[in-house]
């Protein structure tokens, strides 16, 4: 087991948060690598990410918040986007993450004032995991939306262990228990931190591609139509060989912090 130096993992009064524009070159590189390592490769193939990520960083650097250790190392971060939503939160769309990302970008470009802050992702670098830093980052995010006079922080969360049960509907997975606690650690962290579950968003992310694309993702030849398991994916991929087409639809869970 790799030993992590104590000096990089302790909570101290000089740990601080920076926004995107104030990161140095090393911290920026650590950020980019952390994003790559945090998710399975299929996530980076999202057309919504490819289209909008540079806009997110250009339009909203102040909402990209980075926890920096006392010796200047990146510990973790939250990427967030403000957006406008007038309906009750139980009417948030089924295409949660994709919708929220595109809504925030479009609202900014149309000069529509936001009233919510949407959390896109919370990532803690590998060497700092299981030390409570995700809670510190979430607590900081709460202060950000409050200081910005936004109504709520809402997040379409991606349960961290759902990939182990790709054939299980999210509606069943969300209620799994272990030792009388919520089974999934990421759902559990949010609920213990004061979040309320709003609902499941069954079509939160969507990726389409031809058979060649999916063979590259699966690292195998596809010889028939059907459902396929992809490492790290929360659901099975649907393959239609005759029409040279495949699709991955990822469910998430809408939560809110008041």
How confident is the model over 182-204, as pLDDT tens digits?
999 999 999 999 999 999 999 99
Q: What are the angstrom distances between the C-alpha of 184 and each of 138, 190, 253?
A: 17, 10, 12
**What pLDDT shows up at residue 36?**
93
The model carries a pTM of 0.91
**What pLDDT shows up at residue 4?**
38
| Structure tokens that stand for 125 in this block | 């670098």
pLDDT of 181 over the 80 cut: yes
Q: How many Å separate Cα 217 from the centre of its chain? A: 20
**What pLDDT shows up at residue 14?**
54
pLDDT of 29 over the 90 cut: yes
| Gap between the terminal Cα atoms of the chain | 39
For the 6-257 domain, the top CATH level (class) is alpha beta
Taking the CA atoms of the chain, what radius of gyration do you get in angstroms? 19
- Span 29-35, average pLDDT: 96
Contact 206, 246 (CB under 8 A): no
208 falls in which pLDDT band (50, 70, 90)?
Answer: very high
Compute the distance between CA of residue 125 and CA of residue 104 in angstroms, rounded to an integer: 26
105 versus 129: the higher-pLDDT residue is: 105
Compute the distance between CA of residue 213 and CA of residue 210 in angstroms, rounded to an integer: 5
């Amino acid at each position: 087991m790799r030993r992590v130096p104590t000096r990089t993992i302790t909570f101290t009064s000089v740990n601080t948060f920076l926004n995107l524009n104030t990161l140095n070159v090393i911290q920026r590189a650590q950020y980019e690598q952390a994003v790559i390592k945090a998710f399975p490769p299929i996530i980076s193939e999202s057309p919504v990410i490819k289209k909008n990520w540079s806009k997110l960083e250009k339009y909203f650097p102040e909402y990209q918040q980075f926890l920096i250790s006392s010796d200047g190392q990146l510990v973790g971060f939250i990427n967030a986007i403000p957006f406008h939503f007038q309906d009750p939160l139980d009417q948030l769309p089924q295409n949660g993450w994709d919708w929220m990302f595109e809504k925030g970008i479009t609202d900014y470009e149309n000069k529509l004032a936001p009233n919510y802050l949407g959390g896109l992702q919370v990532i803690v670098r590998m060497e700092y995991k299981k030390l409570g830093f995700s809670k510190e980052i979430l607590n900081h995010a709460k202060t950000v939306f409050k200081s910005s006079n936004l109504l709520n922080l809402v997040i379409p969360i991606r349960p961290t262990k759902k990939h182990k049960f790709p054939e299980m509907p999210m509606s069943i997975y969300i209620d799994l228990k272990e030792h009388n606690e919520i089974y999934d650690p990421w759902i559990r962290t949010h609920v213990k931190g004061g979040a309320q579950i709003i609902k499941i968003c069954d079509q939160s992310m969507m990726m389409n591609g031809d058979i060649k694309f999916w063979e590259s993702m699966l690292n195998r030849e596809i010889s028939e139509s059907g459902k396929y398991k992809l490492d790290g994916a929360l659901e099975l991929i649907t393959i239609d060989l005759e029409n040279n087409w495949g699709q991955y639809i990822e469910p998430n869970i809408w939560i809110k912090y008041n």
